[in-house]
Chains A and B, each alone.
Chain A
């Protein structure tokens, strides 16, 4: 690595702002409740998302109890089993992962990492959170309405989603659809902020090609979400109208329970197209921030510059673009014309190319790096393994002839959870361990963190690896109980017991993580400003946690990219982005 001489004109006067111009709320409510500070909003998003995620975690535990020990628990019946499946899926994908990555990490990190004081539209940002909270409350309310929450499956396919016999076919599904519509409205408010802030509020010297990959991931995922969520919005409104006013957007002519319904000619496939036009980009709405964050975790904790930075940016954008033309691979079993299947299988396999590039670059970053096995690094490495495993089974399912027999089996559940659930959640954990010191000023307990990692990592493999075999055996997904299916051997049930025990252990260990969060907040070791010796701007603030305005009266000026680790000849093994090029005599690294 070599450095070129730097022009003297780079030494510019930093942007300054009068103390009075900074946002300083006076009251507790203004500071922590109706806050317009992106950091507070980020924490609000994160706490709400994790809280609702815990509900979904409990639901998954109940589902596993039923699958592992069928006919044992009287409080689980076929109806509420389907409700648990549905609510678990929707909460985890939308209300936890999307909200946490974009609303949580996006809000906290974007202004800090790009050297801005706040989001460009703080008031709209605040409203965004409160609309999100309202959407969450609506969804939770659906548990308590007559008929309970919807049990239509997280994809909410019509016509069964609104037909008698499906749990929550009245108020349950309406609340779900209205909640989704509000979620999307809230997200759009936040998303406008994230995009415009990245485009317009970067500090001096922070070119787009000097952005940390975390920001690239969040930025691109937000663009995807802004363009893809309208598809879910449209389908939610149309299905609400089908349910309430009796329109026939999606509902065909039907005889239900011997009665001719008033619907005619609606197209369930139309819903599927709309849903998956949102649904597949949604995978990358969750994955791209995870890709970005894990890149930064690996670089910081391996003390090495990220390998192929520009290629990584290209890959993020390419994945984002391609994610809009693969949606129908979720619909191979819908009776699709084979030529469409061929097209979507091809695009699906093409998207593996930039994704694989990213995996190679992570591994090459680790290669000969000074790897510190800190808790964030453990989670980052765990992510690479899990993502490769989940991604490879995605290549199987991306092919039509293999997908057709496997589509209705537990193989899909295993694949999906490896690639879309465990992988991003490992990054979430890694990111929390990494940035918790900046948010609170205290380190999370390291021993508890390592215990949490190993049980979670090994536990999830104990859950999902055997599940692939269940899929091969033909064990169907979504079923309350396996009965009268002679082709499934009794050993499948033994495997289900093992999976359930592993799932309960993994679920329980998350309580240890929560304990760590609370305990460390009060008793954790003080972290200082930059405990990981990282280069990015959020670690260069004068205060930890950062105060309102983030950087005091003077904004930082950026002189270099975010990955100056282990630079030959440098005094330390990291050079912050805002450190000007030195003219130190005898220094060879830069002039």
Chain B
């Protein structure tokens, strides 16, 4: 949306379209971004995912005002998981650099390392779930728990989607294709991994910063908080 508005403010309504005929010199279409369509597609998808997580976070804040909210004690395992996801992102970045330099060995190692760290992260998340469940933090016991399970599940599902593309790319590399054949896929995977790391850091910060009890509803905000008097 911001891109569209930015582009639009550069246009003027004074120009008469029927005389605005200029030479045609762009092979792919005038005004097209000089990027592969799949890269633009990923950008649009990330906008959709941002909308999804932003709305969830808004819902988190609004629901937090409820009297029954008991903030979840952040499990220590999440620090380990965060480290694993960060390492996976670093590995993907390393892969991207290797792909740019044409080093297929580096790509192979980087992809495998990135995948292993990602699987570690996902396994770690499941382990945290299991721990919480065993400690009595059931999904329905408190809205804070429910939000934790929901946010981590959706984030994990996005990572699984990324792993599907990662799997296809890694299989190609395993078959011995040229580095040029996977360069774009590697680049897209890297961007996606960085994005999901960023989302996770925001979610993790949200969990860490949530005060033990929250009651921010004043009479002025009572309607939007949805709390009855």
Which of A226-234, A392-400, A504-512 participates in binding chain B? A226-234
Contact B32 A200 (CB under 8 A): yes
User: For the complex, is A120 an interface residue (Cβ under 8 Å from B)?
Assistant: yes
Partner of A310 from B15, B63, B69, B227 at Cβ < 8 Å: B15
Determine the distance from Cα of A581 to Cα of B4 in the docked complex, in whole angstroms.
30
- Report the nearest B residue to A339, measured CB to CB: B220
Contact A248 B32 (CB under 8 A): no
Which of B23-31, B88-96, B104-112, B119-127 participates in binding chain A? B23-31
Determine the distance from Cα of A334 to Cα of B227 in the docked complex, in whole angstroms.
11
Contact B55 A265 (CB under 8 A): no
User: For the complex, is B174 an interface residue (Cβ under 8 Å from A)?
Assistant: no
Determine the distance from Cα of A4 to Cα of B7 in the docked complex, in whole angstroms.
25
Contact A269 B140 (CB under 8 A): no
Q: Which residues of A contact B15 (CB under 8 A)?
A: 209, 310
Partner of A336 from B32, B40, B41, B224 at Cβ < 8 Å: B224
- Report the nearest B residue to A337, measured CB to CB: B223
Contact A267 B66 (CB under 8 A): yes
Contact B55 A234 (CB under 8 A): yes
- Report the nearest A residue to B222, measured CB to CB: A337
User: What are 22 A-B pairs at a CB distance below 8 A?
Assistant: A9-B23, A10-B22, A10-B24, A15-B27, A192-B48, A199-B40, A200-B33, A201-B29, A202-B29, A226-B48, A227-B47, A234-B52, A241-B139, A245-B146, A267-B227, A269-B224, A270-B63, A273-B62, A274-B55, A311-B13, A334-B223, A561-B20
Question: Given A188-B48, A310-B11, A317-B8, 12 more contacts at CB 8 Å?
Answer: A3-B18, A10-B22, A199-B33, A204-B30, A210-B17, A226-B47, A233-B52, A245-B146, A273-B62, A305-B18, A321-B1, A559-B24
Determine the distance from Cα of A129 to Cα of B150 in the docked complex, in whole angstroms.
28
Determine the distance from Cα of A227 to Cα of B222 in the docked complex, in whole angstroms.
27
Contact B59 A234 (CB under 8 A): yes
B1-58, CB < 8 A from A = 1, 4-5, 7-8, 11-13, 15, 17-33, 35, 37-38, 40-41, 44-45, 47-48, 51-52, 55-56
Q: Closest Cβ of chain A: how far from B60's Cβ, in Å?
A: 10
Q: Which residues of A contact B25 (CB under 8 A)?
A: 9, 12
Q: Which residues of B contact A228 (CB under 8 A)?
A: 51
- Residue-by-residue, is B162-202 near A (CB-CB < 8 Å gives 1, otherwise 0)? 00000000000000000000000000000000000000000
Task: Count contacts between A and B, CB distance < 8 Å.
Answer: 203
Q: Which residues of B contact A121 (CB under 8 A)?
A: 37-38, 41
Contact B29 A203 (CB under 8 A): yes
Q: Which residues of B contact A336 (CB under 8 A)?
A: 223-224
User: For the complex, is B221 an interface residue (Cβ under 8 Å from A)?
Assistant: yes
A197-248, CB < 8 A from B = 197, 199-210, 220, 223, 226-228, 230-231, 233-234, 237-238, 241, 245-248
Q: Closest Cβ of chain A: how far from B36's Cβ, in Å?
A: 8
- Report the nearest B residue to A564, measured CB to CB: B18
User: For the complex, is A27 an interface residue (Cβ under 8 Å from B)?
Assistant: no
Q: Which residues of B contact A6 (CB under 8 A)?
A: 21
Determine the distance from Cα of A195 to Cα of B40 in the docked complex, in whole angstroms.
9
Contact B68 A226 (CB under 8 A): no
Contact A310 B22 (CB under 8 A): no
Q: Which residues of B contact A435 (CB under 8 A)?
A: none
Determine the distance from Cα of A188 to Cα of B49 in the docked complex, in whole angstroms.
10
Max chain A Cβ within 10 angstroms of own Cβ: one of B11, B19, B26, B59? B59
Determine the distance from Cα of A37 to Cα of B198 in the docked complex, in whole angstroms.
37
Q: Which residues of A contact B23 (CB under 8 A)?
A: 7, 9-10
Nearest first, the 6 closest Cβ-Cβ pairs linking A and B are A269-B226, A265-B68, A267-B226, A202-B29, A230-B52, A246-B140
Q: Which residues of A contact B52 (CB under 8 A)?
A: 230, 233-234
User: For the complex, is B67 an interface residue (Cβ under 8 Å from A)?
Assistant: yes
User: For the complex, is A411 an interface residue (Cβ under 8 Å from B)?
Assistant: no
- Report the nearest A residue to B19, measured CB to CB: A4
Determine the distance from Cα of A270 to Cα of B12 in the docked complex, in whole angstroms.
40
Contacts A247-B143, A314-B8; is A265 near B69 (CB within 8 Å)? yes
Partner of A223 from B1, B223, B225, B227 at Cβ < 8 Å: B1
- Residue-by-residue, is B143-159 near A (CB-CB < 8 Å gives 1, otherwise 0)? 10010001000100000
Partner of A269 from B33, B37, B223 at Cβ < 8 Å: B223
User: For the complex, is A563 an interface residue (Cβ under 8 Å from B)?
Assistant: yes
Determine the distance from Cα of A246 to Cα of B149 in the docked complex, in whole angstroms.
13
- Residue-by-residue, is A301-322 near B (CB-CB < 8 Å gives 1, otherwise 0)? 0000100111101100100110
User: For the complex, is A1 an interface residue (Cβ under 8 Å from B)?
Assistant: yes
User: For the complex, is A264 an interface residue (Cβ under 8 Å from B)?
Assistant: yes
User: For the complex, is A277 an interface residue (Cβ under 8 Å from B)?
Assistant: yes
Q: Which residues of B contact A223 (CB under 8 A)?
A: 1, 4
Contacts A196-B37, A317-B5; is A2 near B19 (CB within 8 Å)? yes
Determine the distance from Cα of A269 to Cα of B11 in the docked complex, in whole angstroms.
40
Determine the distance from Cα of A560 to Cα of B33 in the docked complex, in whole angstroms.
21
Partner of B41 from A15, A192, A206, A227 at Cβ < 8 Å: A192
Determine the distance from Cα of A201 to Cα of B26 in the docked complex, in whole angstroms.
12
Q: Which residues of A contact B56 (CB under 8 A)?
A: 234
Contact A335 B1 (CB under 8 A): no
Determine the distance from Cα of A273 to Cα of B33 in the docked complex, in whole angstroms.
36
Q: Which residues of B contact A277 (CB under 8 A)?
A: 55
Determine the distance from Cα of A114 to Cα of B31 in the docked complex, in whole angstroms.
13
Contact B44 A192 (CB under 8 A): yes
Partner of B139 from A245, A267, A313, A321 at Cβ < 8 Å: A245
Contacts A3-B19, A314-B13; is A267 near B63 (CB within 8 Å)? yes
Q: Which residues of B contact A339 (CB under 8 A)?
A: 220
A152-204, CB < 8 A from B = 188, 191-192, 195-197, 199-204
Determine the distance from Cα of A198 to Cα of B135 in the docked complex, in whole angstroms.
52
Determine the distance from Cα of A564 to Cα of B16 in the docked complex, in whole angstroms.
12
Contact B221 A337 (CB under 8 A): yes
- Report the nearest B residue to A225, measured CB to CB: B48
Q: Closest Cβ of chain A: how far from B53's Cβ, in Å?
A: 9
User: For the complex, is A19 an interface residue (Cβ under 8 Å from B)?
Assistant: no
Q: Which residues of A contact B45 (CB under 8 A)?
A: 188, 192
User: For the complex, is A528 an interface residue (Cβ under 8 Å from B)?
Assistant: no
Contact B226 A270 (CB under 8 A): yes
Determine the distance from Cα of A497 to Cα of B31 in the docked complex, in whole angstroms.
57
Q: Closest Cβ of chain A: how far from B27's Cβ, in Å?
A: 7
Contact A196 B13 (CB under 8 A): no
Determine the distance from Cα of A265 to Cα of B29 in the docked complex, in whole angstroms.
54
Contacts A247-B143, A563-B18; is A321 near B5 (CB within 8 Å)? yes
A410-454, CB < 8 A from B = none
Q: Closest Cβ of chain A: how far from B63's Cβ, in Å?
A: 6
